[in-house]
Amino acid sequence: MSRSLHFDKTGAIVALQFMAMLVKGLLAAIAVFFLGCPLNVHAGQSAGGTGAKTLTLGVVAETNQRQVEDHFRDFARYVGKKLTGGAVTEGKIAAAPSQARLARLLTERRVDFYLESAYPTYLINSVYGAGKLLLRRWKGGQAEYRGLILTHRSGASARLEELRGKLIAFEDPGSTSGYYLPKFFLSKRGFKLAQKGQIGAAVASGEVGYVFAYSQERLLEWVLAQQVAAGAFSNDDYDALDDKKKSDLTILAETDNLPRHLVSVRKDLPPL
């Protein structure tokens, strides 16, 4: 689990190929999610000492793991009940603090499947080699989404070209719409991006500096206060803003669409 995740040229090309596969809709050809097919999951021991099958959903949560587990518990139980051909199966949740830890749980067969957006799925499945893609999933009523690069309406950056020599904010390193898509979008158009340690850091005239906000709320606060020249997050997060905040923002660019969410299983899960 020690492979580097830095955004180098080779890694970006491989990731782009993975994303392009999704955009072209190849996942749509995959069979409908489990639909009544018996699932060979790992066996555990029930309280009474008899063998009991379990199906474990893995989720990434850096904080509030207990609340996240509670949120998904009914869903895991429902899936476990529906996917085992009538056998008694218990649906469980395993929360991991990072994609790397979730990948380890998949490799150790302590997690059977997980739900994630495109970039974390690429990391877990292709970089760590711990999972395999099963299908695309709607989330929040959306089949697809994209990244937006936004700035304050009265700010000094009215065009992408005016971001050179300035600092922008991405959401977090594991975000598809708030990091990977907008960063690759800018890189593909010739912008040289350099990570900085904090707001106020010096940025060379020929580059675009960036920092991570680690929350959509903080990122939006920085953009509205003009502490950064621009910020990036998803179109559905933008749609959820109130009219006042929208009126203070200008969209500088939009990335390509990607499937909103994906379902993957551990790599050694038997064929369904």
> For 106-150, how does the pLDDT look when each residue is reduced to its tens digit (9 = 90+)?
999 999 999 998 888 988 999 999 999 988 877 777 788 899 999
Q: Is there a domain that residue 28 lies in?
A: yes
Least confident of 5-9, 57-61, 199-203, 214-218: 5-9
Residues 15 and 119 in one domain: yes
More confident residue, 10 or 247: 247
Bridge partners (DSSP) of residue 232 are: 149
Tens digits of per-residue pLDDT, 150-205? 999 998 899 999 999 999 999 999 888 999 999 999 999 999 999 999 999 999 99
Cα–Cα distance list, 242 to 110, 237, 247 (Å)? 42, 11, 9
Residues 207 and 137 in one domain: no
Q: What is the reported pLDDT for 109? A: 94
Q: What is the reported pLDDT for 84? A: 59
Evaluate if residue 27 carries a pLDDT over 90.
no
Residues 213 and 230 in one domain: yes
Q: What is the reported pLDDT for 2? A: 38
Q: What is the reported pLDDT for 37? A: 36
Residues 124 and 218 in one domain: no
Q: What is the reported pLDDT for 25? A: 37
Q: What is the reported pLDDT for 36? A: 33
Q: What is the reported pLDDT for 23? A: 41
Alpha helices (runs of H) in the chain, residue ranges in sequence order: 9-23, 65-82, 99-107, 118-122, 181-188, 216-224, 235-239, 243-247
Q: What is the reported pLDDT for 31? A: 30
Tens digits of per-residue pLDDT, 63-110? 888 898 999 988 888 887 776 555 657 889 999 999 999 999 999 999
Evaluate if residue 208 carries a pLDDT over 70.
yes
Q: What is the reported pLDDT for 251? A: 96
Give me the domain span that covers residue 47. Answer: 9-142+260-266
Q: What is the reported pLDDT for 82? A: 76
Q: Is there a domain that residue 1 lies in?
A: no
Residues 233 and 206 in one domain: yes
Q: What is the reported pLDDT for 86? A: 55
Residues 13 and 109 in one domain: yes
Pairwise CA distance, residues 143 & 141, whole Å: 7
Q: What is the reported pLDDT for 101? A: 96
Evaluate if residue 60 carries a pLDDT over 80.
yes
Evaluate if residue 221 carries a pLDDT over 90.
yes
Residues 40 and 90 in one domain: yes
In terms of pTM, does the model score above 0.85?
A: no
Q: What is the reported pLDDT for 80? A: 79
- Domain of 54, CATH number, reads 3.40.190.10
Q: Is there a domain that residue 272 lies in?
A: no
Evaluate if residue 42 carries a pLDDT over 70.
no
Residues 157 and 188 in one domain: yes
Q: Is there a domain that residue 271 lies in?
A: no
Q: Is there a domain that residue 2 lies in?
A: no
Residues 159 and 72 in one domain: no
Q: How many domains does the chain have?
A: 2
| Residues ≥6 apart with Cβ < 8 Å to 261 | 115, 116, 117, 136, 137, 138, 139
